[in-house]
């Protein structure tokens, strides 16, 4: 219970709201979505709930499919820390707790950024993250407000 409260508090607290963030090498991180998603921006609070797997649909009722990289990948670590404001292991603990208790599921983990981009682009309701320089016309970038 204390872990859940701590995780929720960490997700709820933010020093600033970001539209995009920088990876360790200075390149810009963005939230990507399948073009079929019917919105162009998303609140930081909603984004945190989606990646914590507490929210599985948009406010319109459209189902979401979350794609992530492994905990040890620099891009996932940068996205978790700099955009969501949590460490990758904290996300993993939340996902494992939900799966173990039967109340939720983990996101779809892919092996590379290219695989993540392809999965988001080809999956209705797909959402993930990537470096802005790798975003193609097959995706849309969601502004975080």
Note the pLDDT of residue 23.
55
Note the pLDDT of residue 97.
95
Instruction: Return the CATH number at 8.
Output: 3.40.190.10
Note the pLDDT of residue 25.
57
Give the bridge partners for 28, in sequence order. Answer: 22
Note the pLDDT of residue 71.
94
Q: How many domains does the chain have?
A: 1
What averages of pLDDT result for each successive group of 10 residues across the chain (145 residues)? Answer: 47 36 70 96 96 94 97 96 96 95 95 98 98 96 96
Q: What global pTM score does this model have?
A: 0.83
For residue 88, what are the domain limits? Answer: 2-144
Note the pLDDT of residue 98.
92
């Amino acid at each position: 219970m204390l872990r859940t409260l701590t995780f929720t508090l960490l997700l709820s607290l933010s020093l600033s709201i970001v539209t995009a963030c920088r990876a360790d090498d200075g390149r810009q991180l963005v939230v990507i979505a399948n073009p079929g998603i019917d919105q162009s921006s998303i609140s930081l609070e909603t984004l945190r709930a989606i990646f914590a797997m507490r929210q599985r649909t948009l406010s319109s009722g459209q189902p979401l499919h979350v794609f992530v990289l492994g905990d040890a990948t620099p891009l996932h670590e940068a996205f978790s820390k700099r955009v969501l404001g949590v460490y990758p292991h904290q996300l993993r603990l939340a996902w494992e707790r939900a799966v173990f208790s039967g109340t939720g599921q983990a996101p779809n983990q892919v092996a590379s950024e290219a695989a993540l981009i392809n999965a988001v682009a080809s999956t209705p309701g797909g959402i993930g993250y990537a470096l802005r320089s790798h975003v193609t016309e097959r995706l849309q970038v969601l502004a975080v407000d």
